[in-house]
């Protein structure tokens, strides 16, 4: 019982620190529209059962008009004889034949500036003889396009 309370405190501390960090960033700029976490628009963690010899779309997010998704975290599970395709704005960003990171502990990759202007998708093809449960987590912050340009220093 006590470990549950400690876990909650740790989770609360993590959420509070993320809010503080985001507030410091928000204070630096005069936003046209306050940036929002992807979870405001779409559930970052998606999963689906993929039957043998089947291709299924696991993740399919359309970025709102005049907005940009700055991807902060990516994680997946991986099975032998499966191929996943990570698409950004309709083009293949990576053909995934590997485990990227644990769904429960995804690394922060926001410094890589992976940005989607139109869409993010993840397709998994199961080439095995058994059904699999394919999972992917893609998370980030959605900015208004003008605010994103100000954040990264692009002249408008």
The Cα–Cα gap between 77 and 145 comes to 32
Question: 49 and 118 in one domain?
Answer: yes
pLDDT for the residue 129: 95
pLDDT in tens, 112-154: 889 999 999 999 999 999 999 999 999 999 999 999 988 887 7
The answer to whether residues 37 and 83 belong to one domain is yes
Rounded distance between C-alpha atoms, residue 135 and residue 133, angstroms: 6
- pTM comes to 0.78
The yes-or-no verdict on residue 26 having pLDDT over 90 is no
pLDDT tens by residue, 37-87: 999 999 999 999 999 999 999 999 999 999 999 999 999 999 999 999 999
* Angle, CA of 65, 123 and 94, to the nearest 5°: 85
Task: Give the angle 73-126-108 at the CA atoms, nearest 5°.
Answer: 5
Q: Check residue 17 and give its pLDDT.
A: 54
- Same domain, yes or no: 39 and 16: no
- Domain harbouring 134, CATH code: 2.60.120
- CB of 9 within 8 A of CB of 125? no
Longest dimension (CA), the chain: 54
d(CA 4, CA 8) in angstroms, rounded, equals 6
Question: What's the domain range around 131?
Answer: 31-152
Domain tally, the chain:
2
């Amino acid at each position: 019982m006590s470990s549950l309370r400690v876990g909650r405190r740790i989770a609360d501390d993590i959420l509070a620190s993320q809010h503080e960090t985001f507030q410091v960033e928000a204070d630096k700029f005069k936003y046209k529209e306050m940036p929002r976490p992807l979870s405001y628009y779409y559930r970052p963690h998606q999963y689906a059962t993929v039957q043998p010899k089947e291709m299924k779309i696991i993740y399919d997010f359309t970025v709102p008009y005049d907005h940009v998704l700055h991807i902060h975290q990516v994680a997946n599970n991986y099975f032998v004889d499966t191929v996943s395709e990570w698409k950004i704005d309709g083009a293949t960003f990576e053909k995934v034949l590997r485990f990227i990171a644990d769904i429960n502990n995804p690394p922060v990759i926001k410094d890589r500036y992976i940005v989607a202007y139109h869409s993010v998708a993840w397709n998994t093809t199961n080439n095995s003889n058994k059904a699999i449960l394919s999972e992917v987590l893609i998370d980030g912050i959605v900015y208004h396009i003008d605010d994103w340009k100000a954040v990264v220093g692009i002249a408008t």
